[in-house]
Chains A and B, each alone.
Chain A
Amino acid sequence: MQPKPNHDESVRQDFVTDLRAYLTDEIYTLITPHYEKKIEPEFLQSHDRKPKDKSEVKSLMLNDKGYQSWSLLQRLSQQMMFTSVIDTVERNLEAMIDNLDKHQEIGSLEIDDSLEIPRYLTAYDIHQQPGGYHSETIEKDISAGAVYDISLPIYSRNAMGEENDLLAQAIIHYIDKNIGTFQPKDILDMGCGIGNSTLPFSKKYPNSKVVGADVALPCLRYAHARANALGVEADFSQQNVEKTNYDSESFDLVTSTLLLHETSHDAVPKIIQECFRLLKPGGWMIHLDVYPFHKKEDDPLYDFLKDWEVINNNENFSGALRKMNMKKIIEDAGFATETVEFTSAEAAAKYSKGYTGDFYLKLPVYVAQKSIAS
Chain B
Amino acid sequence: MNDKTKLPRVAKGKKLNYLNDGSIDNLMAMIMTLTQEISVLRDRIDTLERILESKKIILDEEFNEFIPSDDLETKRKNRRHALLERVLLPIKKELE
Contact = CB atoms under 8 A, between A and B. Distances in A.
Interface of A: 4, 6-8, 11-12, 14-16, 18-19, 21-22, 26-27, 30-31, 34, 65-73, 75-77, 79-80, 82-84, 86, 89-90, 93-94, 123-125, 128-132, 135, 137-138, 143, 147, 311-312, 314, 353-355
Contacts of A6: 63-64
Most chain B CB within 10 A, of A19, A31, A125, is at A19
A358 B12 CA distance: 36
A69 B18 contact: yes
Interface residues of B, number: 45
Nearest to A313: B13
Given A11-B40, A314-B13, A70 B5 contact: no
Interface of B: 4-14, 16, 18-19, 25, 28-29, 32-33, 35-37, 39-40, 43-44, 47, 63-64, 66, 70, 73-74, 76-77, 80-81, 84-85, 88, 91-92, 94-96
Nearest to B72: A354
Most chain B CB within 10 A, of A11, A80, A94, is at A11
B36 to A, nearest CB: 5
B11 A83 contact: no
B61 to A, nearest CB: 9
Given A6-B64, A131-B8, A69 B13 contact: no
B79 to A, nearest CB: 9
Contacts of B80: 14-15, 18-19
A7 B92 contact: no
B8 A72 contact: no
B66 A353 contact: no
B11 A129 contact: yes
B18 A15 contact: no
17 contacts: A7-B44, A7-B66, A8-B63, A15-B36, A15-B80, A27-B88, A31-B95, A68-B19, A72-B18, A86-B9, A90-B5, A90-B6, A130-B9, A135-B8, A137-B7, A311-B16, A312-B16
Contacts of A130: 7-12
Given A22-B81, A73-B28, A12 B36 contact: yes
A60 to B, nearest CB: 14
A65 B84 contact: no
A304 B10 CA distance: 27
9 closest residue pairs by CB, A with B: A354-B73, A124-B13, A66-B94, A11-B43, A7-B63, A125-B11, A66-B95, A72-B18, A30-B95
A103 to B, nearest CB: 20
Given A69-B18, A137-B8, A354-B77, A22 B84 contact: yes
B77 A8 contact: no
Contacts of A11: 39-40, 43-44, 76
B6 A19 contact: no
B12 A125 contact: yes
Nearest to A356: B74
A124 B81 contact: no
Given A6-B64, A130-B10, A94 B5 contact: yes
A128 B29 CA distance: 15
